[in-house]
A and B are shown apart, each in its own frame.
Chain A
Amino acid sequence: MSAAEEVVAEGHQAVEAVPKRAMTLGTGTSLVVLAALLIVPMFVKNFVIFQMTMLLIYGLAVLALNILTGGSGQFSLGQSAFYAVGAYTSAVLMEHANINYALTIPISAVVCFGFGYLFGKPALRLSGVYLALATFALATAMPQLLKLNFLEHWTGGVQGLVVTKPDAPFGLPMSQDTWLYYFTLIVTIAIYIFSVNLLRSRSGRAFMAIRDNEIAASSMGVNVALYKTLAFGVSAGITGVAGSLGAIAVQFVAPDSYTITLAISLFLGMVVGGVGWLPGSFVGAAFIIFVPNMAESISKGLSGAVFGVLLFLVIYLVPHGARQIAILGQQFAGKLKKN
């Protein structure tokens, strides 16, 4: 049993009874969070809006990994490769084929779903650390593949591609950043609802059965090969959408943007947010965006070390990440109600 499976399996006794609550926030809390996400951009600077957009985008990428690891129990250190494919698909379509940015997003999703599904096929034979290594290889190879000479005409080689930022449609009176934020928010909410429903559906239960015990799952009639590759495909597709949105928000794609560091960041975000707990993905994304900045403001020369210490504290004090804090908060609120 691998480390992630242990993490997922622990504290899982109550989950089977009420799977929805274990995966998501209560309705009240969800509405409060949604209201905050809708209202805050009206009162903050464009730079903060940009950071919030990046938070949603990385949140989506972490969510995708969460479906794969937390849902079906498979490891991936190669999410940066799917992210890159999504980003480049959008950038190339927008800049060379003049396709509207909104249309490139479903195209990226389909391309990345196919890519992830195909990659999932050979990866079926691997499990645990071996699968992690195979995906790691994918992540390391991707930046070099993007530099290949015969692709350079489209990808711009090492120079990358500059992407034009879209204006708000229908003459809406908002800045490009604000519009992009709301656009990203809509996509994020759609994908979040899709993910929650996916995990609650027959397929989702199949994912979790495979995660908990592959042999038991197959003896119950779950098509293990199909669902494992499907999980890879869905995860890659969502990551691709995040990559597309990322390319549009940052307005630039280059091989150096999608190195193994990105894959590891996403993995980190998932662990910090709580493996298998979908709302935690966004907490994890906040961690990977803001904590390095905090670490840098504490010490420039030792930013890496400070980041390490902070990460260590999180893992040591709350090993199940944001999910654990949420459960503690819930228990505390319950006590208050009784009194």
Chain B
Amino acid sequence: MPAVTGKLAAASLALALIAASASTASAQKKYDTGATDTEIKIGNIMPYSGPASAYGIIGRTEAAYFKKINEEGGINGRKINFVSYDDAYSPPKTVEQARKLVESDEVLLIFNSLGTPPNSAIQKYMNSKKVPQLFVATGATKWNDPQNFPWTMGWQPNYQSETQIYAKYILKEMPNAKIGVLYQNDDYGKDYLKGLKDGLGAKAASMIVLEESYETSEPTIDNHIVKMKATGADVFINITTPKFAAQAIKKISEIGWKPTHFLNNVSASVGSVIKPAGFENSQDIISAAYLKDVSDPQWKDDAGMKAFLEFMTKYFPEGDKLDGGTIVGYGVAQTLVEALKKCGDNLTRENVMKQAASLKDFRTEVLLPGIKINTGANDFAPISSLQLMKFKGEKWDLFGDVISADAGG
């Protein structure tokens, strides 16, 4: 029956062709749970209540930014459905909310969940479910670990890179410095300290004359500052949060100590730290930054800053422009939009991670000039450069080149 076989062969060939063309058609549009022709569902977890509720403004800024994107037509024609839940900065609640987002709301990814303990609590779960935990809002170094956690990625420069940059500067400019360090006794403070020691390398032991830690429950850190001065240190590395940073700046000037003062980026805000501490007390302090500061007059006519302020007036008028959280939320939301745009019609979780890990020289206009976002298969630290700056008059003067220091987890 050769004729029949021939017919059969032809029929099966035709079938195979149809199947093949159907599969190429679907290859152009591929979706995982949470993405369709009209919508991309994005989950988010923020401490809207509880001890860290001040950071909740980041989530509200992001929601406003996605509203703007939707009004302008969405991402490749798809609207963003932003589902944001409150975890009150309590890790068990974060786990519950993450599971709700992944298993009940069925989001494509969880974006910019905030805080080191909450993110640590869900990291294993997210990676076992293979759902992206993208651009987390914490500066801990451990998020840059693509070998063990290929579904987790940070965003902001990690704390260790920053002190490594200070260490490089100190080794070059003041190789005989006697360093005093004051740090907050938690993961944030200890991460910074580790970066400094790694950066100083073998000389760390001889150069650091005093390491002091304080608890956030202490009403004042004046006694630590007095102790620092007594050791004869001529470099002071100030790893403190805004309230304590302002206290330190004031006290140093009061007791007439004149060290080279390095202030961590966490507390570099002109509006919330320098101004309350007094401009006259803050001259020549050195810090590092990656974002433009809204309260800094030098960006008054900057195009990126203008676009940000315009967005704030139109979409988030009740938000405080001077709050550092709004500019962070704006920048990180822009980065997500860029990664999703690059995904095109292939909105699988795997492709989202792939695109997020292949950003090349991307800039959101709230980053300082010269700082670019670069990621790769082995580099899950999107922003890894900072620029040094010195406080002069009433503003920060950027100096030197943009310095990059990639620290892995």
Chain A positions near chain B (C-beta within 8 angstroms) = 45-48, 50-51, 54, 144, 147, 157-160, 162, 246, 250-252, 254-257, 259, 261-262, 292, 296, 300-301, 303-304
The DSSP consensus for interface residues of chain A is: helix
Flag whether B90 is at the interface (Cβ < 8 A): yes
Question: Given contacts A47-B104, A147-B185, is CB(A261)–CB(B99) below 8 Å?
Answer: no
CB-nearest residue of chain A to B63:
A300
B120 touches A162 (CB 8 A): yes
**A250–B121 CA distance with the chains assembled, in angstroms:** 8
A254 touches B121 (CB 8 A): yes
Flag whether B393 is at the interface (Cβ < 8 A): no
Question: Given contacts A159-B116, A160-B120, A300-B86, is CB(A250)–CB(B48) below 8 Å?
Answer: no
Can you show 6 pairs from A to B with CB atoms below 8 A apart? A144-B217, A157-B187, A246-B92, A256-B91, A256-B117, A259-B90
Count of A-B contacts judged by CB separation below 8 Å: 82
Least distance between B258 CB and chain A CB atoms (Å) = 32
Question: Given contacts A158-B187, A257-B92, is CB(A304)–CB(B103) below 8 Å?
Answer: no
Least distance between A233 CB and chain B CB atoms (Å) = 25
A250 touches B92 (CB 8 A): yes
Within 8 A of A (CB), among B114-140: 116-117, 120-121, 123-125
A304 touches B49 (CB 8 A): yes
A303 touches B86 (CB 8 A): yes
Listed from nearest, the 5 A-B pairs whose CB atoms lie closest are A47-B103, A252-B121, A254-B117, A158-B187, A250-B92
Least distance between A202 CB and chain B CB atoms (Å) = 38
**A252–B126 CA distance with the chains assembled, in angstroms:** 13
Chain A contacts for B89, CB-based, 8 A: 256
B95 touches A45 (CB 8 A): no
Chain A contacts for B92, CB-based, 8 A: 54, 246, 250, 252, 257
B99 touches A159 (CB 8 A): no
**A266–B16 CA distance with the chains assembled, in angstroms:** 63
Least distance between B133 CB and chain A CB atoms (Å) = 14
Report which of A50, A160, A304 forms a contact with B91, defined as CB distance below 8 A.
A160
**A301–B56 CA distance with the chains assembled, in angstroms:** 9
Chain A contacts for B49, CB-based, 8 A: 303-304
A45 touches B103 (CB 8 A): yes
Chain B contacts for A257, CB-based, 8 A: 90-92, 117, 121
**A262–B90 CA distance with the chains assembled, in angstroms:** 9
**A115–B103 CA distance with the chains assembled, in angstroms:** 38
Give B79-108 as 1s and 0s: 1 = Cβ < 8 Å from A's Cβ atoms.
000001110111110011001101110000
Flag whether B50 is at the interface (Cβ < 8 A): yes
**A301–B99 CA distance with the chains assembled, in angstroms:** 22
A54 touches B125 (CB 8 A): no
Question: Given contacts A252-B91, A300-B86, A303-B86, is CB(A160)–CB(B121) below 8 Å?
Answer: yes
Q: Most chain-B Cβ atoms within 10 A of its Cβ — which of A144, A254, A262?
A: A254
Flag whether B222 is at the interface (Cβ < 8 A): no
**A254–B49 CA distance with the chains assembled, in angstroms:** 19
Question: Given contacts A46-B103, A251-B124, is CB(A147)–CB(B91) below 8 Å?
Answer: no
B48 touches A300 (CB 8 A): yes
Chain B contacts for A157, CB-based, 8 A: 187
Flag whether B296 is at the interface (Cβ < 8 A): no
